[in-house]
Structure 1
Amino acid sequence: MMCANGQSAEFCPENPSSTRKAMRLRNASSPDRRIEKTRKLLHDALLSLLHEKSYDEIVVKEILDRANVGRSTFYTHFRDKDDLLAGGVRDLLHSVHLAHRPSSAKTSEDMLWFSRPIFEHIYAHHRTSQLRIGRSGQIVLHQHLQRILAELISTRIKRDLRNRPRSGKNLSPELLVHYLASTFTLVLNWWVDHDSTMPPAEADALFRFLVAPALG
């Protein structure tokens, strides 16, 4: 059976089954969009509050009021404000991952694709805003940065190590992943703590210099 426009009846605009199918597809994607919108409202609320007071002084109720989100909704997505802050770190790293990762690691330095984009993001953000993250917030940020970064680069580095010609070194992939993530976090922490005017390219070069011996 065909529509008046020559298409299969299944796709006729007036076909009830086609209409129901389209509605199911729209409804299936709606929860994801709602979740994404809610999470963005909460992240934006936290960032807004960080312009006004230190991270230590912010309580969950203030985030809820600023985002106009209910308490039960907040705890559906996050355990506490630390988890919300960690979610922002995860979103940042995944956006860097999608935008900058090379298709393959042709050299050892290609394994460090994440470094300069993160330094550039932090540098631009630090220069255009006055976030009062505080010592406690900074500790949370860097702890989660190290853990999430290790998760993000783990599979890729293990695969790249398997594909590289064997050398005299018998380096554990798990050790290398944690070494790279912890060293990057250490350099970033030093860079931010000292309110450094060092450009991102130089901070990236410093990190690469420190880890070069491990990469061979």
Structure 2
Amino acid sequence: MERRKRKTQKLIINTFLKLLHEKTFDKITVNQLTKSADINRGTFYLHYQDKYALLEETLKDYINQMNQYCLHNKEEISHALTLAFDYLKDNYKFIEPLLRNEGYQLFQNELKSSISTFIETSDLVDLHVVSILKKKAITSTILGVIEWWLLEDELKASPSDIAAELEGIVFSIIR
């Protein structure tokens, strides 16, 4: 049963992402989604409360996958950041439509939370001597660079180049 549930959720998410490439979030209806996925509306509602819950869960899943991808590299900030930027680049075709409209604020909030948790749980710096203001500045800086890279630079800069420069910025904030 669990396997069928995961398969149906994957179908719903893939259909949702396909529709997001065709139209904006506010133009997508549950009816369109279920027709395109060839499932009943009731099946959709067994998995998601509404299209907003689907959007939120999809974004959270991508952020959680990125976290898992980078978790084993907390000891070296440049490498961890490179992995995060690699993940974002590899998944850009799925993430890009989620950044439009309602998805942008959710993505930003989830990413901010993820960055804060990473900073708090990593061994990169002695956080006991880093002020709350500096932690907030580091989080905002990393988030701002990610947003710039995804939305304005359109992935032109390499993940390793961004990570190396960002590492220098982070450590200059700490000092």
CA distance in 2, matches of 1:103, 1:82: 33
Tell me how large the CA RMSD over aligned residues is.
3.6
Whichever residue aligns with residue 146 of structure 1, its letter is: K
SS at match of 2:83: helix
The answer for the alignment partner of 1:198 in structure 2 is 157
Unmatched runs of 5 consecutive residues or more in structure 1: 1-29
Q: How many residues align?
A: 174
Unmatched runs of 5 consecutive residues or more in structure 2: none
- SS across alignment from 1:134: coil
Of Structure 1 and Structure 2, the greater helix share is in 2
**Other structure's SS at 1:102 match:** helix
Identity of aligned residues (%): 23
C-alpha deviation, 1:130, in angstroms: 7.8
Letter in 2 for 1:211: V
Following superposition, the deviation at residue 129 of structure 1 comes to 9.9
1:1-216 alignment to 2 at 5 Å?
30-31=1-2, 33-102=3-72, 105=75, 109=77, 113=80, 115-126=81-92, 131=97, 134-147=100-113, 149-150=114-115, 153=118, 156-157=121-122, 160=123, 169=129, 171-172=131-132, 176=135, 179-196=137-154, 197-216=156-175
Report how far residue 132 of structure 1 moved: 8.1
Query: Deviation per CA, 1:115-139, whole angstroms, max 9, x where unpaired?
Result: 3233223324447998485344333
Deviation (angstroms), 1:40: 0.9
Give the distance between the partners of 2:131 and 2:21, measured in 1 at CA.
44
Contact 1:51 1:132 in 2 (8 A): no
Q: Deviation of residue 144 (structure 1)?
A: 2.8
Amino acid at match of 1:213: S
TM-score, normalised relative to structure 2: 0.72
Instruction: Say which structure, 1 or 2, has more relative contact order (CA 8 Å, 6+ apart).
Output: 2
Q: Helix, strand or coil: the match of 2:22? A: coil
Structure 2 CA distance for aligned equivalents of residues 43 and 128 of structure 1: 10
83 and 166 in structure 1: CA distance in 2 versus 1, 3 angstrom threshold: closer
